[in-house]
Amino acid sequence: MAEPRASAKAVRATLRGAVQGVGFRATALRRARDLGVLGWVRNGEDGAVLIHAEGSEPALERFVEFLRVGPAQAHVESLEIDPVKPEGHEQFAIRGVSAGRFVVREHAATNRHFDLQLEVEGEMRAWALPKGPTMDPAVNRLAIDTGPHDVAASLEENARAIVWDRGGYEQGGRVAWPEAIARGHAVFVLHGEKLRGGFALQRTSSTPKAQWLLIKRRDADARPGSDVVAEQPLSVLSAVTLDEVLSQRTG
């Protein structure tokens, strides 16, 4: 078990050498869980392995000893360790790995709106977005939890809907999914054709159709002042707008 937060220490580690493609992340995950170390591990774009680790000082020392060697097929040429402040993680997770699909549809139901669907443990969890998503971190968008959806609902088979965006996503944050959703604060990274980078869903009420906020995080993909819905209205499947779909149906 991890030490209480008050006594936790934390480090950031950068490992270089033959450290990618050799099972380093999976082995680090197992070792961290054995020691009660919390945080994350991910592959860097330059061939390095990046790690944030927090826990008791003895547990961190043993974890760093493991990092100096790594799994059997690894060859660690250098290890940089920097003390940092604990972030309060409740898990040790592999970052940068797809957690499943996401889909954003625009459709004309009773009220015209968008919905965001995230694949969580084999089902699509959905939030209705009355004004659509945003890439502007200064703009928070209302998101209404509409619960699990049929996987087929992510397809463009409804004559009154288009698939506005789609792709894969990564789960993030300090709390494991789906518990993060149950607690009301879920952090994730989208890899779509229009939506990219970090986002968060923050619950603001616990009514039957709970209200949340969809928030774009301030990262390299953020576009302050932009209106991605107005700028990119076409379906990513059929390259038509919802207005064109509706006019074809009534024409």
> Given 12, 16, 25, 95, which residue is catalytic?
25
Catalytic residue check, 25: yes
CA atoms within 13 A of residue 183's CA, in its CB half-sphere? 13
Is residue 223 among the annotated active site residues? no
Contact status, residue 81 vs residue 164, Cβ threshold 8 Å: no
Give the N- to C-terminal CA distance of the chain in Å, as an integer.
65
User: Active-site residue among 31, 43, 125, 141?
Assistant: 43
Cα(95)–Cα(39) distance, integer angstroms:
10
**106: which strand partners?**
114, 162
State the Cα–Cα distance between residues 57 and 135, nearest whole angstrom.
Answer: 40
**Which residues are identified as catalytic?**
25, 43
